[in-house]
Amino acid sequence: MVRQFYQSGVHSTDLMNKTRKSIPDSQPVSPKGTIPGFLHSACARLPRGVRENLVPAGIFLLCFILYNTYTSLRMSGDTFPAGYLPFSIVYYHDLFLEHFANPNFAANAYAFANINGHLVSLFPIVTPVFITPFVFLCTWGMPAGQAILHVAQIGRTASAGIAALAACTFYLVIIRFVPKKIAILSTLIFAFATSTWSISSQALWQHGTIELFLLLMIYAILRNEEKPSSLWFVILGILSGLFVFCRPPDALLLLPILGYVVLLNRRYLAHYVFPGIIAGLPFLAYNEYYFGSIIGGYAQNIPLFDFSANFFPTFTGLLFSPNKGLFVFSPVLLLAFFGYFHIKSIDNKTISRLFLWFGPVLILETVLYGFFGDTGGGYSYGPRFLTSLVPVLCIYAAFFLSDTATRFRAGLHDYVKVAVIAVLIVFSVVVQFIGVFYFPYLDDSHYPQPWEGSRLLIVSSFQDGTANLDTFVIQSIPPLPPWYYYSENDEWKSLNIQKTLAAGDYQTAAWYYENDIQENPDSYILWNNLGACQIKLGEYEDALSSFNQSLEINPQFEEAGENQAVALQAIQQENTSAVTNTTVPAA
C-alpha cells in the first residue's frame, strides 16, 4: 500500500520512525546485507538533516555523471537556439543569434526566424534563459570567440544537470509515499528506464526543463501540505509562469496544479497568480513582439493539427508503435496503470485528488499530440513528445511497486509477478542505453516511421552503433577537460586539440597531449607539443623536461631543440617576452 503521507501535522517519515525500535545514536547498528558497519556508524553520527540529504545528493551525482557520459557529441537542430542563446545573453546582452557564423544554422533553418533584421529562435527561450547563469560561470573570463568553442559541451552538461536535478526532485517527492528502497528503485527507473535518460539528459530540448518544473511544483505542494505557507504558492506561481512558456503544448499539465490552487486553496490565489504573471510576462512580451502570438514560434505549428481519421494511428503510435511508442521504449511504465488504482489509499485526500486529476490530464495531453500532424512524433529516439508525462507515470508506477512489496508472499504467483517487473525494468534500461550510446551513430537512411515494422529503430540503432562506435567520453564541467575519454579515431582527438589551441586554451590542450603520451610514450612530437603548451602556461621547468624527452627520443628534431632554447632562456632570464617566440605545431 502507499504509505500514509500526512496526519495531524506529523511528517510521514516521523510516523514511520515512531514505529521502529529506538536505537541510541551511540550504538549504531548496521542492518545485515546493507552497508558496512563503520560506514553506517559514520552516517549515524551526522546531523539528521545531513543524513536525509545524502541519498538525494548521491542520486544527483550518479545521474549527473552517467548523463554526462556519451559516445558522440552532437547537437540536434532543435537545440541549436537553446545552445547558442545563452552566449548571446552573456556576451552580447541580447536574444539574437546572428552573432555566430555557424554553417549548421542554415542546415537547420526551421529552428530560426529572421525578424526585424535579427535571427531569433523559433523555439521557446525559457530553457536557454534558465541555463544562462551556468553558461556565465563556465565561460567566466573567456573572450567570446574562445567560449563559443565549448557550446556543445556546455549544452550537454547543462541538460545533464537539469535531468539530474529532476531525478533528485523525483526522489524527494516519492520518498513521502513509499519505503526508502522502493523510492530509490523508482527514482532509478525514472532516471534510467525512461526517455529522461535518452532524451532529456542528452540535449537542450525543452523536455528536461518541463520534467524538472513539474516535479518541483508537485514537491512544493507536498511541502505545503506538510507545513502550509504562502511561500509555497509563490513558488508554484513562478514555476507555473515559466512552465507555460517553456513548452506551450505541455501547459495542459498545469490543470491539476490550478485545481489544487483554485478549488482547494483559494485563499492563496493572489500569492499564486501575481508571481506567475511576473515570471511569465517577459516571455509573453517576447512572443508577442517577435511572433504576434502568446505561444511564440509555435504558432506556425497550429495549421499542422489534423482533426481527421489520421488521429488514430498517430495517437496509438505515440503509445504502442514499434519505433515511437512510449510503452515500447519504456514498458516498465505499464505499471503506472496499476499504480493509478492505489492512489485512493493515500490518507491525505488533497494529495489523493491531485494525483487522480493527473490521470485524465495525461490522456488529454496524449490526445493533443495525437492530432498533431507530425506523425513521426519528432525526430528522436523514441517518444520525445510524451517525455513530459514520464514524471507522473513513474510516480504511479512507484505506488504499484510499493503495494507489490508490501503484499509480497513467498509463492509462485508473487515470484512470477516480481520476475515480470524485473524483466520490464531491465528491458527498459537496455533500450534507453542503446538510445544514449548507439542511436547517435544511426544512419539517417535507417530512421524508420513509427509503424514501420520491417525496420526497428532500436535494432537499427544498435547495429549502426556497433559498427561505428569509436569514442567514449565522461565529460566534466566545461571548459575543464573530460574526466575520461577514449577514441579509436585519431581525427576526433586531433579536432579536439586543434579547437583548444585555436581558442588559446593551452591547459586543456596540455591535458590531451598528456593522455596521448600515456598511449604513445615514444612520440617525440607529442612531447614537443606538450612542452610548447607548458611554455604558454608559464611552466618553464616542466616544458624543459618535455623538450628534453622529445630530443632524447629523436635528437635530430630541430623544432624541439629550438623550443628547448626558449625554455632555457625563460628559466635563466625570467623574460616572459621569450614566450611569444614559441610555436605550437599542428597535432
Q: Among 129, 155, 181, which residue terminates a domain? A: 155
Query: pLDDT tens-digit profile of 238-282?
Result: 999 999 999 999 999 999 999 999 999 999 999 999 999 999 999
Beta strand segments in 367-462, E: none
Q: Per the domain annotation, does 532 fall within a domain?
A: yes
Residue 278: all three cell numbers together: 511576473
pLDDT at 562 over 80: yes
Query: pLDDT tens-digit profile of 202-220?
Result: 999 999 999 999 999 999 9
Lowest mean per-residue pLDDT among 43-47, 105-109, 308-312, 353-357: 43-47
472 SS3 class? strand
In whole angstroms, give the CA distance from residue 26 to residue 75: 53
In whole angstroms, give the CA distance from residue 472 to residue 427: 23
pLDDT at 538 (0 to 100): 82
Q: What angle do CA 523, 524, 525 make, to 5 degrees?
A: 90
pLDDT at 34 (0 to 100): 47
In whole angstroms, give the CA distance from residue 89 to residue 466: 40
pLDDT at 32 (0 to 100): 43
Within 13 A of 361's CA, how many CA atoms are on the CB side? 22
Sign of CA dihedral 278, 281, 283, 286: negative
Which residues, including other chains, have CB under 8 Å from residue 213's CB and lie 6 or more apart? 239, 242, 243, 246
pLDDT at 304 (0 to 100): 86
In whole angstroms, give the CA distance from residue 267 to residue 257: 15
Mean pLDDT of 425-439: 97
Which residues, including other chains, have CB under 8 Å from residue 454's CB and lie 6 or more apart? 448
In whole angstroms, give the CA distance from residue 164 to residue 114: 35
- Among 26, 57, 19, residue whose Cα is nearest residue 44: 26
Q: Among 98, 121, 155, which residue terminates a domain? A: 155
pLDDT at 307 (0 to 100): 87
Neighbours of 10 (CB within 10 A): 12
* Spatial contact of 365 and 255, defined as CB atoms under 8 Å apart: no
pLDDT at 583 (0 to 100): 57
Query: pLDDT tens-digit profile of 369-401?
Result: 999 877 666 678 989 999 999 999 999 999 999
* Spatial contact of 149 and 138, defined as CB atoms under 8 Å apart: no
30: confidence class by pLDDT, cuts 50, 70, 90: very low
pLDDT at 103 over 70: no
Q: Per the domain annotation, does 571 fall within a domain?
A: yes
Sign of CA dihedral 262, 265, 270, 272: negative
Q: Per the domain annotation, does 559 fall within a domain?
A: yes
* Spatial contact of 534 and 543, defined as CB atoms under 8 Å apart: yes
Q: Containing H/E element for 326? A: helix 326-329
In whole angstroms, give the CA distance from residue 178 to residue 13: 10
Residue 464: all three cell numbers together: 549502426
Mean pLDDT of 153-169: 96
Q: Per the domain annotation, does 146 fall within a domain?
A: yes
Within 13 A of 473's CA, how many CA atoms are on the CB side? 23
pLDDT at 536 (0 to 100): 82
pLDDT at 53 over 90: no
pLDDT at 42 (0 to 100): 65
Alpha helix stretches (DSSP H) within 227-343: 230-246, 255-262, 269-291, 311-320, 326-329, 335-340
Q: Per the domain annotation, does 100 fall within a domain?
A: yes
Q: Per the domain annotation, does 114 fall within a domain?
A: yes
In whole angstroms, give the CA distance from residue 106 to residue 80: 11
- The rounded percent of the chain whose pLDDT value lies above 90 is 57
Q: Among 155, 188, 218, which residue terminates a domain? A: 155
pLDDT at 417 (0 to 100): 94
Query: pLDDT tens-digit profile of 526-537?
Result: 888 899 888 888
CATH of the domain at 573: 1.25.40.10
Residue 339: all three cell numbers together: 499504480
305 SS3 class? strand
What domain range includes position 561?
Answer: 489-581
Where do we find the cell 532543435?
78
Q: Per the domain annotation, does 124 fall within a domain?
A: yes
Output 508 or 78, whichever has higher pLDDT.
78
Within 13 A of 496's CA, how many CA atoms are on the CB side? 26
490: confidence class by pLDDT, cuts 50, 70, 90: low
**Domain tally for the chain?**
2
Where do we find the cell 512470477?
416
Where do we find the cell 490522456?
363
Mean pLDDT of 507-519: 79
* Spatial contact of 314 and 275, defined as CB atoms under 8 Å apart: no
pLDDT at 574 (0 to 100): 62
- The rounded percent of the chain whose pLDDT value lies above 70 is 85
pLDDT at 146 over 80: no
Query: pLDDT tens-digit profile of 434-487?
Result: 999 999 999 988 999 989 988 999 999 999 999 988 889 899 998 888 888 887
Alpha helix stretches (DSSP H) within 472-577: 490-502, 506-519, 524-536, 540-553, 558-573
- Among 158, 100, 167, 168, residue whose Cα is nearest residue 129: 158
* Spatial contact of 388 and 207, defined as CB atoms under 8 Å apart: yes
Q: Reduced to 3 DSSP states, what percent helix, strand and coil does the chain have, rounded to the nearest 5?
A: 70, 5, 30
